[in-house]
Amino acid sequence: MSVCGTCNSGDKSNVKGCKNNGVCGTGGCNKLNSFDWLIDMDLPLDEQFDVVEVRFKNGKKDFFRNVNKYPLYNGDAVIVDVPNGHHMGFVALQGELVRLQMFKKKVENDDQIRSVYRLATEKDLQKFEEVKKKEQPTLHRTREIIAEQKLNMKLTDVEYQADGTKATFYYSADDRVDFRELIKKLASEFRIRVEMRQISLRQEASRLGGIGSCGRELCCSTWLTDFKSVTTTSARYQNLSLNPSKLSGQCGRLKCCLNYELDTYMDALKDIPELKKPLITSKGQAKLQKTDIFKKIMWFGYDNENSWISIPTDRVKEIIRLNEEGKKPATLREDDIEAKDEVSEALNSDLEKLDKKFQKRSKNKKRRKNRKFRNKNKKSQQ
């Protein structure tokens, strides 16, 4: 029975948590998990797709060909062919879903796909655990060397190859970094082949993980793989406050979730009229204060008044048409019927309740003062 190496949720004789024998099925341990919805479909062995998706540290995945036709299942530890050696990973997906994943990621099914050597043995697992224990000390020591050489870079993570002959150092930097001396120092001190790989701030957040402002795990560390560009225009279309502290994620860039509902807002904005100048009525000029995109209601306010008047978008379009013809409607609402504005009443109801509440409090205070004053007068007369 194996143990979850990420959260240490068990010991050698007992596994706690989801009882999945070290292969966490909750998505908390294994980042970017894929649900195999074809797992119960039986196919002839000669028709099964011979490429499997293998997961490595921090959700990194790659495709490998099962040339020896091993019976592989999700979660199996396998030894795979990598440049200049071999590495150990865990099967994340197998079967026909791998074909769909390759089509989605535009990976060609050709000779460039490396092969699976064999299933990992107990000795391989023990050696892999020993190699993983070197990662944290190597990370701290490398940061010290970077500080000594005064390099303008931030080291995020270190990943050792399963055979212990190579290590990949993930870093982020604003400018180009000359780390030739750093590579020589690391190779001589740790006696390994060194690979420096620069990653973006979003990729750094995805490797480190964390909790977002929504209270859930970061999207980039659980399921999001494609990082699309996010601009403040997305926030403007959604009528969000352009506050950098609220719009920025853990990576310091704009939150990826700003793009999730953008298409819905763009479709709803097609029915919202575009205002280039205030609406003109007989009462004066009314300026736009607020827009409810999905309810299709717009609030306007006059310069000399504090209250807002809500009108539907159809009425706004009508007033714009009248202004273009040189006409001025009597009011923002319909000219013949001055209907009650339920939305504006709902906005002002809270203020009215507060006013009544404070008026009651002030009356009670005056009564108490009067009582105290009367009691003092009575005592002085006695």
pLDDT in tens, 347-371: 556 667 767 777 777 777 777 777 7
pLDDT of residue 306: 83
Phi, psi of 126, rounded to the nearest 5 degrees? -65, -45
> Is the distance from CB of 57 to CB of 32 less than 8 angstroms?
no
pLDDT in tens, 140-172: 999 999 999 999 999 999 999 998 899 999 999
pLDDT of residue 144: 94
- Over range 264-286, report the average pLDDT: 89
Position 183 pLDDT exceeds 90: yes
- Over range 82-97, report the average pLDDT: 87
Cα separations in angstroms, 260 against 218, 227, 235, 265: 14, 12, 11, 10
Position 275 pLDDT exceeds 50: yes
Position 3 pLDDT exceeds 60: no
Mean pLDDT, rounded, of the chain = 82
Position 225 pLDDT exceeds 70: yes
Output DSSP code: residue 249. -
- Over range 189-197, report the average pLDDT: 92
Helix (H, G, I), strand (E, B) or coil at 291: strand
User: Looking at 22-31, 136-145, 189-198, 351-360, which range is the least confident one?
Assistant: 22-31
pLDDT in tens, 309-356: 889 999 999 999 999 988 888 888 865 444 444 445 555 566 677 677
- Over range 92-119, report the average pLDDT: 88
Q: Which residues contact 347 (CB under 8 A, 6 or more apart)?
A: 308, 310
pLDDT in tens, 66-85: 988 888 888 889 999 988 88
Q: Sheet with 85-93: list strands edge to edge.
A: 61-65, 51-55, 85-93, 77-82, 116-119
**Dist CA 18 CA 321 (whole Å):** 64
pLDDT of residue 6: 46
Position 222 pLDDT exceeds 90: no
214-217: long-range contacts, CB 8 A cutoff, minimum separation 24: 214/257, 217/27, 217/28
**Dist CA 101 CA 364 (whole Å):** 71
- Residue 187: pLDDT band (50, 70, 90) is very high
- Residue 38: pLDDT band (50, 70, 90) is low
Task: Please give the sequence-ordered ranges of beta strands (E in DSSP) within the chain, or none if there are none.
Answer: 51-55, 61-65, 77-82, 85-93, 116-119, 154-160, 166-172, 193-198, 279-281, 284-292, 297-302, 309-312
- Residue 194: pLDDT band (50, 70, 90) is very high
> Is the distance from CB of 106 to CB of 187 less than 8 angstroms?
no
Instruction: Please state the domain extents for the chain.
Output: 17-120, 288-336, 340-382
**Dist CA 118 CA 358 (whole Å):** 77
Query: Treating both helix axes as pointing N-terminal to C-terminal, what angle do 180-190 and 135-149 enclose, rounded to 10 degrees?
Result: 140
pLDDT of residue 350: 62
pTM of the complete model: 0.67
| Maximum distance among all Cα pairs of the chain, rounded to whole angstroms | 112
Task: Please give the sequence-ordered ranges of beta strands (E in DSSP) within 105-246, or none if there are none.
Answer: 116-119, 154-160, 166-172, 193-198
- Residue 119: pLDDT band (50, 70, 90) is very high
- Over range 289-304, report the average pLDDT: 89
